[in-house]
Amino acid sequence: MKNSIIKTENLSKEFKLKGKNRVIKALNNINIEINDGEIFGLLGPNGAGKTTLIKILTTISQPTSGGACVGGYDVIKEPKKVKPLIGLMLEGELLYYRITGYDNLKFFCKIYKVPNYDQKIKAIAKEFGLNKWLNEYVGKFSSGMKMKLALARTLLLDRDILFLDEPTLGLDVKSIDMIVNKLKNLNRTIFMTSHDMNVVEKLCDRIAFIINGEILKIGEKEEIKKLSNDEVRINVTLNNHYADLRAELEQTSFIKQVTYSTPTLKFILEDRTNFNDLISILGKYDIRSISEKQPTLEELFLSLLNHNSE
Amino acid sequence: MELIRKTKDNISQISALVEKNVKLQLRYKFGLVTSFTISIVSILMPLIIMGNLFQTRPQIGNWNSTNFVIYQFLAYNIFLMRDMTSIFPQQFRQEKYWKTLPALIIGPFNRLNLLLGIFLSHLIVISVPFITFFLLGLFFYPISFITAMFLIILFFIVALVLSGIGLILGIFAISNENIWRILNFLLYFVFWFSCITYPYEIFPQFIQNIINLNPLYYLFDILRLTWIQDNIIITILTYPFHFILLFLLAVLLPLIGIYIFNLIYKKYGITGY
């Protein structure tokens, strides 16, 4: 049985807004448990509470109620014991723009007491393709390079538990692939947030969806993916008789949200088991193309919201 | 052994913070040079005005046309030290906008190291103009080596007091900008009534009464008195209140600053962008 290394119990955080008694719940009774060595992905739209949760778990912010433990220590009562265990990449870069990339890494290595930092800095810079830029001011770096430098900084500190807020934001496909492989082989507990479904799918063992400060769904990757498989988004292009097909689909019980946008009819098949019935309908028409569209993260969120309200 | 290891760790962390801060401040060197030059401009006008005044009144309090240059050279160094009150807000706000503060806050080190890092880095940055004006003072109005060393220590303690004020301002600069602005506004008057560039004796009685209530006046005054008396024992015995106040504030203000830092940062976090 694996040890739980991050655990929250009814964790809530409220922010007071302008005006009398106006309070917004950034986190609402969050209960999660992450095992040692697990890569955990937290997905959610802007303002869902992802960063707030990371800030509490990394002792930066305090919850309004509830509790959390990281590495077996209470983040509120024992922050000094939590700090040596954690590495953080928060809200982008956490970098000093007015000093060089090397000075940034050196500074944090000295603060975090990393031995032989010079060799390690050069090695990780080479691995991340930053070696030529290491002695330039960070202000001159592209956004992707800054992101790589920030991640290099977090990894250099060699902490057991990593909190990564959008670690692949603004990176090209090749860099994302490199970072995914790097993180996968780290053998560390990673708590990450991302908007990139592909990254999360490749990297994470378990996933949670957070919307409006509440965890809507938490589970194994396959279990979460199944949610998007219930409904199938289909795009059909016809040579003619659009109106007829549209009318027929609108009257079909297992079809919903039929829309027409030249030259494509879009609709949702409520369940894959009705696929044969759909084919028999479409067979009557002069179909030019038919394709299944993967749901975007946003669509999955909406789907989750619908599931939640039902 | 444990104590030695911890001390080494702390020194290493403070040196890292100092190195980083100095490099950040030296990124735009002309900004630094102009800030030093502005302080020179600030002491020029009192030199001219008081120079004229001494032609009609040869002695004003302890000051005359011979030793008044020391008053202004010390004023220049006080201006450099006064920047301690703005360096903390400036540094904290930079870290806030660069979002580097969280990385420091979760760093496994005592928060005192963070504050010492800012304090020492500023001392290093101002060291060249400070030493220049200190040596100029020694050239124009020589004093004994012991008094000069004692003055350096006094300046260091004054810097601690001002850094305590700066720390409190810095905390509000990142947690509640309105309060920071108000405190800054009030501090402007506190400095104005502290006789940095003009001697106490030239002010009318009601302003002198206000100055008497200002603790900073005593801190700056003891620097000048130590210099012109050139006898540490006599200065301490003649002005014990000045020294007690100096040491008291040097301990209390940084401690209050750290307490507020811990309290406000944890409770309210960094707000407003």
Q: What is the mean pLDDT of residues A185-212?
A: 87
Closest CA of chain B from A177, distance in Å = 26
Query: In the structure, what pLDDT confidence band is assigned to residue A306 with cuts at 50, 70 and 90?
Result: low
* Residue B15 contacts A where some CB pair is shorter than 8 Å: yes
Polymer length in residues for chain A: 310
Question: Which residues from chain A sit within 8 angstroms of residue B24, using beta carbons?
Answer: 96, 98-99
Show the DSSP H helices in chain A as ranges: 50-57, 79-82, 101-111, 117-127, 143-156, 173-184, 197-203, 221-230, 242-250, 275-282, 297-309
Q: How confident is the model at residue B273 (pLDDT cuts 50, 70, 90)?
A: very low
Nearest to A6 by CA among A208, A214, A167: A208
Q: Are B74 and B137 in contact (CB under 8 A)?
A: yes
Residue of B17, B99, B269 lying closest to A92 (CB–CB): B99
* Residue B157 contacts A, CB cutoff 8 Å: no
Within a domain: B174: yes
User: In chain A, where are the structural domains located?
Assistant: 4-227, 232-294
Structure ipTM: 0.80
Look at residue B182 and tell me whether its pLDDT is greater than 70.
Answer: yes
Confidence tier at B164 by pLDDT (50, 70, 90): very high
Percent of chain A at pLDDT > 90 equals 28
| Residue A102 at interface with chain B, using a CB cutoff of 8 Å | no
Residue B34 pLDDT greater than 50, yes or no: yes
pLDDT at A91: 64
pLDDT > 50? residue A28 = yes
pLDDT exceeds cutoff 90 at A243: no
Report d(CA A248, CA A264) in Å as an integer. 15
> For residue A39, which of A254, A232, A188, A244 has the smallest C-alpha distance?
A188
Exposure letters B61-99 (e unless 16+ CB within 10 A, then b): ebbeeeebbbbbbbbbbbbbbbbbbbbbbbbbbbbbebb
Encode pLDDT of B97-149 as tens digits.
887 877 777 777 777 888 888 899 999 999 999 999 999 999 999 999 999 99
pLDDT confidence bin for B272, thresholds 50/70/90: very low
Taking Cα atoms as reference points, which of A299, A291, A239, A302 lies closest to residue A266?
A291
In a domain, B273, yes or no: no
Would you tell me how many other CB atoms lie within 10 Å of the CB of residue A47?
13
Q: Could you tell me the pLDDT band of residue A95, with boundaries at 50, 70 and 90? A: confident
Query: What pLDDT, on a 0 to 100 scale, did the predictor assign at position B76?
Result: 93
Distance between CA atoms of B180 and B265, rounded to whole angstroms? 14
- A283 exposed, middle or buried (CB, 10 Å; 0-12, 13-18, 19+)? exposed
Q: What is the rounded CA–CA span in Å between residue B150 and residue B160?
A: 15
- Residue A292 DSSP class: E
CA of B10, closest CA in chain A: separation in Å? 9
Count of domains for chain B: 1
Least confident of A20-29, B58-67, B234-243: A20-29
pLDDT category of residue B91 using cuts at 50, 70 and 90: confident
Interface test with B, best of A55, A110, A159 (most B CBs within 10 A): A110
Q: In what order do the strands lie in the sheet with A255-261?
A: A255-261, A264-269, A232-238, A287-293
Q: Looking at CA atoms only, how far is residue B106 from chain A in angstroms? A: 6
| Whole-number pLDDT of residue A264 | 86
Write down the pLDDT at residue A30. 94
Q: Are B151 and B232 in contact (CB under 8 A)?
A: no
pLDDT at B204: 94
Percent of chain B with pLDDT over 70: 97
Q: Which residue in A46, A130, A55 sits closest to A89, CA to CA? A: A55
Q: Which residue has the higher pLDDT, B3 or B269?
A: B3
Show the domain range for B45.
2-268
| pLDDT tens by residue, B220-242 | 999 999 999 999 999 999 999 99
B214-245 in b/e burial notation, b at 16+ Cβ within 10 A? Answer: bebbbbbbbbbbbbebbebeebeeebeebbeb
What is the amino acid identity at position B4?
A: I
Other CB atoms within a 10 A radius of the CB of residue B184 amount to 15
The confidence score (pLDDT) of residue B183 equals 94
Burial class from Cβ neighbours inside 10 Å (0-12, 13-18, 19+) for residue B33 reads exposed
Which pLDDT belongs to residue A6? 95
CATH superfamily, region A4-227: P-loop containing nucleotide triphosphate hydrolases (3.40.50.300)
Average pLDDT over residues B195-221: 94
Average pLDDT of the residues in B6-11? 86
The minimum CA-CA distance between B268 and chain A, rounded to whole Å, is: 8
What chain A residue is nearest to B27 in terms of C-alpha separation? Answer: A98
In whole angstroms, give the CA distance from residue A25 to residue A2.
32
User: Given an 8 Å threshold on Cβ–Cβ distance, is B106 in contact with A60?
Assistant: yes
How many angstroms separate the CA atoms of B271 and B273, rounded? Answer: 7
Residues in chain B with CB shorter than 8 Å from the CB of A83 are 106-108
Does the beta carbon of B215 lie under 8 angstroms from any beta carbon of chain A?
no
pLDDT at B235: 94
Residues 106-125 of B with CB under 8 A from A: 106-109
Q: What is the DSSP string of A214-242?
A: EEEEEEEHHHHHHHHHHSEEEEEEESS-H
B20/A94 touch (CB, cutoff 8 Å), yes or no: no
Q: Is residue B248 part of a domain?
A: yes
Asked if A5 and A70 touch (Cβ cutoff 8 Å), the reply is yes
Say if the Cβ atoms of A99 and B20 lie within 8 Å.
yes
Q: Establish if B29 touches chain A: CB-CB under 8 angstroms.
A: no
User: Nearest by CB to A96, which of B98, B106, B109?
Assistant: B98
Query: For position B271, what pLDDT does the model report?
Result: 47
CA distance A55 to chain B (A): 9
Chain A environment of B107 (Cβ under 8 Å): 83, 108, 111-112
Q: What letter represents residue B187's amino acid?
A: L
Residues from chain B contacting residue A96 (CB–CB below 8 Å): 20, 24, 98, 100
- pLDDT at position B198 is 92
Question: Looking at the domain that runs over A232-294, which CATH code has it been given?
Answer: 3.30.70
**Burial class for A70, CB neighbours closer than 10 Å (0-12, 13-18, 19+):** buried
Exposure b/e, B143-166, CB count within 10 A at least 16 = b: beeebbebbeebbebbbbbbbbbb
Average pLDDT, chain A: 85
